[in-house]
Amino acid sequence: MGLDLAALVSLGPAVWTPNPLLFTAASGLLLAGYFLAASVWGLIVRELGGPSIPAGEAIRLFMIANLGRYIPGKVWQIAGLAALAKGRGVPATTATGAAVLGQGLALVAATAVGMGAFLAGPAEFRRWGIVGAVIVLAGAVLVSIPPVFARLARLWFRLSRTEPQNAVGSLHGLRWLALLGLSWILQAGAFWVLALSLDLEGALVPVASAFAAAYVLGYAMIFAPAGLGPREGFLILFLTPHFGATSSGVIAVVSRLWTTLVELVPAGLFWMRHLAAGPTVPEGPSGGGSS
């Protein structure tokens, strides 16, 4: 990638220090994207036949469970969410099914947003971008066909050894996918603002979408907790044509610290509140689809 690590280490502190106002704006956008994804999980729980979880509660449980992403393997986040949701009267199978289904759709949404990194990049990237765009389009079409999506959902639940209480329709899938797509647009836009805070001015689409593309490719590396290492490598690869190798290395490192900070600080506060409050099980039958 042409990255000079010695040059990266020798850079002065000014290069690593973001503009406070833009950094705050980027952090707010990223947090909004996280909170929207958490709210979608709560929506999926309800539409799978689980209890209605207030948005604030869904966000709290989801953010705490996200701490599991920092443990190697991809199951701890989902397992933690199922355990935490049990205290809200959500059956473990419903909570897990919602998390698994939501994660699958979120990856499709992130892939769609990340296509810009390929299609707006150098010629050697575009070939892969066209292949990815075809895959995303095919996935969206399959989600929109009721019988096909129902079968795919059943297969997804069977592989995850979960079972929803309610049938899943294509309208559900399209709504969930659209909301998760908006979540990823917010997160990608937040990364672009982060780049601006470091005085790195680049076109919105290739820079913002690089964040989503690097996330998906980092997620595929099962051995890496939260994609640590591979995600940064792919991010540098995507951004080097726009910023150069050294500046891309800077933003890759800063973005890792930034995403960790924005995720862990709220999660830690939510966790302390959770410990103080203790589990709360709502009254009435837990299988109802409304509050």
pLDDT score, position 113: 92
Between CA 70 and CA 215 the distance in angstroms is 14
pLDDT score, position 273: 82
Q: Which structure tokens are listed for 43?
A: 């929506």
DSSP conformation class of 71: S
Per-residue pLDDT of the chain (291 residues; tens, 9 = 90+): 556 555 665 666 767 789 999 999 999 999 999 999 999 999 998 888 788 889 999 999 999 988 887 776 667 788 888 888 887 788 877 888 888 888 888 988 998 899 888 877 666 676 666 766 777 777 666 666 666 666 766 676 666 566 655 556 556 778 888 999 999 999 999 999 999 999 999 899 999 999 999 998 888 887 777 778 889 999 999 999 889 888 899 999 999 999 999 999 998 888 888 777 765 544 444 333 332
pLDDT score, position 25: 97
Between CA 120 and CA 128 the distance in angstroms is 11
Q: Which structure tokens are listed for 142?
A: 């399959």
Between CA 29 and CA 187 the distance in angstroms is 6
The residue type at 280: T
DSSP conformation class of 70: G
Between CA 197 and CA 191 the distance in angstroms is 10
Given a contact cutoff of 8 angstroms between Cβ atoms, the answer to whether 184 and 106 are in contact is yes
pTM over 0.85: no
Domain coordinates in residue numbering, the chain: 18-271
Between CA 88 and CA 274 the distance in angstroms is 12
pLDDT score, position 285: 41
pLDDT score, position 286: 39
